[in-house]
Amino acid sequence: MNRTTMRSILPFGLAMVLLAACGDKAAKPPAGAQPAPAATVTPASTPASSPTAPGPAPGPASGPPASTPLRWPPLDGLVGKYPSDSGLFETGPIASDLKALLGDRLAAFKTDMQVQSPLQQEGGVLYVSGNKVHEGGREMAYLLIDPAQGALEVGLWTGGVLKTYASPAGAAIARPKDIRALLKNSAG
């Protein structure tokens, strides 16, 4: 398939990305084409509007905005993959935020993720848990990712004592069932 055919069958924004990736510096939008809108995420607590649903009642604004710009590229493609295979902690979309959150504790976090689950999702929250080899119950960790808020939460057990680290952005991240069970089992 040649570039001219690609331009005619792909939406303008995607075609420009593909052409730019192919090195077509002279790629120009078709006459009258509008750029694709920026990606946004609608928080789960805000119902999406539809043409048949009535809008919110007029009055003072409250709650989160109707949409929040993406802080990271979509992470859905990493669900089901092990962070050690996907590079989630080292080079993935959240890597710099994770390093900023944990600072010098990042090395301990990675050690406590030597034996890890694949990245999982419950509702809008992505999560992974793990433990240091042969140290489950004493040296463990979990990571929660809320893409809608651009927020992270890390639980890090050292010597069996849990300390949590959370992004300052937004509300607390809802803990998935597996993480709640992990917390309950480690407490007793």
Q: Quick one: pLDDT band at residue 22, thresholds 50, 70, 90? A: very low
Compute how many other C-beta atoms are within 10 angstroms of the C-beta atom of residue 106. Answer: 18
Residue 89 contacts residue 95 (beta carbons within 8 Å): yes
Q: Measuring CA to CA, which residue among 75, 64, 2 is closest to residue 39? A: 75
Question: How do residues 41-93 score in pLDDT, each as one tens digit?
Answer: 333 333 333 333 443 444 444 334 444 456 788 888 999 999 999 999 999 99
pLDDT value of residue 187: 79
Q: Strands, E, within the chain: which ranges?
A: 40-41, 68-69, 115-116, 120-122, 125-131, 140-146, 151-158, 161-166
Of 148, 147, 154, which is closest to residue 182 (Cα–Cα)?
154
Q: Exposed, middle or buried, 122 (CB in 10 Å: 0-12/13-18/19+)?
A: middle
Where do we find the tokens 């959370």?
166
| CA-to-CA separations, 131 to 98, 157, 158, 170, in angstroms, rounded | 17, 9, 11, 28
Other beta carbons less than 10 A from residue 184's beta carbon = 9
Q: Which residue has the higher pLDDT, 54 or 124?
A: 124
Contacts of 86 (CB under 8 A, 6+ apart): 78, 92, 119
- Give the residue with greater pLDDT, 64 vs 172: 172
State pTM to two decimals: 0.63
